[in-house]
Chains A and B, each alone.
Chain A
Amino acid sequence: MTTDQLSLYCLYAAYSAMAIYTISFIAFALDLAKRSGDAQVAATAAIKAQAQRLAGKAEMIAESAGTPGGSVAVLERTDVDTGADAPRRSSKFERIGMSMMVLGLAVHISSVVLRGFAADRVPWANMFEFGLTGTALIVAVFLIVNLFVNLRYLGAYVMGLNLILLGVAVVNFYVAVSPLVPALQSYWLVIHVFVACLGTAFFAIAGGLSAAQIIQDRRETAKNPGLRLFDTLPGAERLEDLAYRIALVGFVLWTFTLIAGAIWAEKAWGRYWGWDTKETWTFIIWVIYAGYIHARATRGWRGARSAYLSLVGFAAVMFNFSVVNLLFKGLHAYSGL
């Protein structure tokens, strides 16, 4: 097959993956709606049950009033289980969403591989290519993390984010296969860019968790918690723990990206650090996440406050990928556009 054919099939696969992701997104959105309904039902049922229990208790007390030593110690849980720990049975929608996500990823990966064959090198050397590969990594990391902890409630977020990023990459950033300029011909391209995309994937998921944490935190402190569907999510503290751990992995990867980038810059441009725009933004992101890690360890900052830093960090990652690549001048001018 020729390069052109392969790149065409790569695009077909990318569009198909987007179609499947769209189904997955819809399924996850329906699941969220269902969660909302379930939570409503559960809350009503809990109130009813409690009312019944109280009524029953009154009867029992009335009945046993005459018997000696008849006071019965009734030990009952009256708190409503918010589903944080009791694993909620996954809904049909959620299962559809997950399986569509897996299927979408398989097609997506084939698109990445086709592009690799078309270009005859790793498919992450211009913006279209990092968009294509990076989004596949976000889904892959999400699915892998899901094997260890249940993050399915983030499915709609991951699919939504992914559709936007992949859509922009395919529609706005597409470029035909082109050879690598000599500065990019290095095994550091393979390592540095791949690890950066992987770090971004972890930051993306941590960002989603932090956003959920902030909402959950508001509901927990508010008198009248809206957004019933969040009843089915873990509590703010658990969300924070997860966000933090996933961001830590992202941070380690980002640290490596920074160092690998410096080593590569030394080889390609003759200096390891020169405050090029892209270098500067990589540094800024690194410092923001270092701040996030510190904030979590600072009294008065744990909780929602530190979560905002995680969001700022992820916003900076997205800014670095989009605006800095496109509009800022610098040595890293490899958007290919």
Chain B
Amino acid sequence: MARSSDTDKGLTGGSSDTSEDRGVDQRADPLRPSDHIDSEPGDSGDSGITQPRLSPLGYLRFFWRQLTSMRTALLLLMLLALAAVPGSLVPQTSSDPNGVAQYKFDHPTLAPILDKIGLFNTFSTPWFSAVYLLLFVSLVGCIIPRVKHHLEALRSVPPKTPARLSRLAGFQAFDVPRPADPSAAPVSAEIAVAHARSLLRRAGYRTRIVGDSVSAERGYLRETGNLVFHIALLGILVTVGIGGGFGYTGQRVVVVGQTFSNVLGSYDSFNPGRFFNDAQLAPFNIKVDKFTVKYEQKILDAIGTPIEYKTDVTTTQPGATAEKKTIKVNEPLQIGGTNVYLLGNGYAVNVVVRDGEGNVALKDSIPFLPQDSNLTSLGVIKVPDALPKQLGMQGFFYPSAVKQATGAYASNYPDAINPLLSLSVYSGDLGLDDGVPQSVYTLETGKLKVLAGTQSTAEEKPITLKPGQTVKLPDGLGSIEFTGVSRFVSLDIHHDPSQLYVLVFAVLIVLGLLTGLFVPRRRVWVKAVQGENGLRIEYAGLARGEDPTLERAVGDLAKRHQAVLDPKSASDRRKVNP
């Protein structure tokens, strides 16, 4: 942009419409990508058409400029939105692994193709990552020069007063009346300008006296907010990407009365972050004292819907006394920098199994996993210590059993009103000694002999037990006693040191957004002109970015300034116009 000499155009009456003449001063303006709507068109070669042949470095610069342009940012944002869509159409392994399995089963031809392009893991596919990484590279390229420029602008003074204010926003002029007493000195230009300046300063403007005028600017915070917003976006990406690697998540089913110790071996499942080490497992114990669940009783349509889950626990940490705490849904327990969530619950059946030789081979509470909203639960009882043969049992627990027309059982209420255990019994090698890890919730029945079950080869029907009952097993292999039911809770234990930082950045995003969008950035000028009829004051403003209230602000300033210069007329006006 051509910057003309420093002569005051107001005096020379120059009429060339330079941007300075319009009160635009790019040194103080926020720096924008060259295709930003407020930057001067054509002042940088981003079009590519007028470019001469480029050297390799030139190509790099050209490419970089393209990448950091507004158009590219826009394109990448749209691509990001688009790329996220498939992740919502198809179940995702991370959030819904069962859904993925079901989907693969339902769509045997389509699923492999989708799998190939990563649609079951959309948010970690190379193409999704490429979009957001490019976006963030573009963001970095966009922010760095802007931050540099803004830091300079923060120290700069407002630009010179334009020659003609009359073409600017909210322009108005005011003739200072001569004092009623002719001997009194009329208001001088200096005084008028000084008054204006102090008014502007009080309103938060940065001011500069230029001749008989004051040039004022405010709203640097707008650009600061915008930059804070964009930097906080980067902050979130980086903390999630790197900070997430220092945490872990794990699950553990704990039957009421049992204690969970936070060591690696006591987890049922455990997902460490990339940078995890054992030292991050804070030492604590949680003893589950009680689990209560409240069911809806009043509203007919919803009877039996659980309306509250609550776990009472006793926590112990080294060097601290034991504490009583509660864990609820929405109210995790915080302990040792770790959050403990109550995410599931169900019934554990208490059984005593005696083997063929009359010894107690198992006495335990076995969690059965809920299958429906009335807590029909599925579970497995393994008795590897039974002699002469290992025993395995598989079956259902019904908290409120009813016999259906088919003869099968079902549960019709989630509370344990009429508990019933129904088991198929197998004998043989359970395969626990092969060294292959097995889930405690599944029983490989392929090589086992069916003692009791629905199969035609079974010697007996499945055995059914009510609490307190004991049933002999076929073939003289022992007996099983159902001593009662307990509740279990499924605890999720999460440690994520980056979480707090993510929250801080999220708050910065909101604050940056609010200031970046709603703080008006504007320039205002007040100029004293010595006319034939005495002193004439001109007011005008210029918006830098969205500024719907500019004209009103200039009007308010003018009114207050006039009230200072001419208190009488101001009070007169108030009388006329209450």
Contacts and interface: CB of A to CB of B under 8 A. Distances in A.
Contacts of B87: 275, 280
A297 B132 CA distance: 21
A127 B211 CA distance: 65
Given A179-B302, A256-B510, A299-B70, A275 B95 contact: yes
B36 interface: yes
Interface string B273-309: 0000000000000000000000010110110011111
Interface stretch (A81-89, A97-105, A130-138, A288-296): A288-296
Contacts of B305: 178-179, 181
A271 interface: yes
Nearest to A266: B499
Interface stretch (A16-24, A41-49, A241-249): A241-249
Contacts of B473: none
A252 interface: yes
B263 interface: no
A287 B518 CA distance: 20
Interface string B398-431: 0000000000000000000000000000000000
B85 interface: yes
B187 interface: no
A276 B92 CA distance: 8
B385 to A, nearest CB: 36
B332 A267 contact: yes
B77 A291 contact: yes
Nearest to A281: B88
A179 B296 contact: yes
Contacts of B494: 270-271
B94 A299 contact: no
A330 interface: yes
Contact of B331 (A251, A267, A281): A267
Interface string A1-33: 001000000000000000000000000000000
A69 interface: no
A294 B81 contact: no
A178 B302 contact: yes
Contacts of B517: 248, 252
Contacts of B92: 275
A267 B343 CA distance: 10
B339 A270 contact: yes
Interface string B516-529: 01100000000000
Interface string A300-337: 11100000000000000000000010001111000000
Given A178-B302, A185-B308, A288-B78, 18 more contacts: A178-B296, A181-B307, A182-B308, A241-B548, A245-B546, A251-B513, A252-B517, A266-B499, A268-B329, A268-B330, A270-B332, A274-B95, A280-B87, A284-B81, A287-B77, A290-B77, A296-B37, A330-B95
Contact of B78 (A186, A251, A291, A296): A291
A244 B343 contact: no
Nearest to A297: B37
Contact of A179 (B71, B73, B307): B307
**Top 10 A-B pairs ranked by shortest CB distance?**
A182-B329, A270-B341, A298-B70, A291-B77, A280-B88, A287-B81, A178-B302, A186-B330, A277-B88, A270-B492
Contacts of B328: 182
Instruction: Place the interface of chain A in its size category.
Output: 35 or more
Contacts of A245: 546, 548
A134 to B, nearest CB: 21
A298 to B, nearest CB: 4
A245 B546 CA distance: 9
A183 interface: yes
B378 interface: no
B21 interface: no
B307 A328 contact: no
B556 interface: no
A300 B39 CA distance: 12
A218 B517 CA distance: 29
8 contacts: A178-B299, A179-B299, A188-B330, A259-B507, A287-B77, A288-B77, A294-B74, A299-B36
B35 interface: yes
B41 A298 contact: no
Nearest to A270: B341
A334 to B, nearest CB: 13
A186 B331 CA distance: 9
Nearest to A189: B330
Interface string B488-524: 0000101000010011001101100110011000000
A180 interface: yes
Contacts of B89: 328
Q: Which of A244, A251, A264, A272 has the most CB of B within 10 A?
A: A272
B84 interface: yes
Contacts of B296: 178-179
A283 B240 CA distance: 16
Given A248-B517, A252-B513, A283 B84 contact: yes
Contacts of A288: 77-78, 81
B330 A294 contact: no
B95 A276 contact: yes
Q: Which of B32, B39, B74, B307 has the most CB of A within 10 A?
A: B74
A283 B84 CA distance: 8
Interface in B239-267: 240, 249
B79 to A, nearest CB: 9
Contact of B96 (A179, A296, A330): A330
A255 interface: yes
Interface in B29-62: 32, 35-39, 41
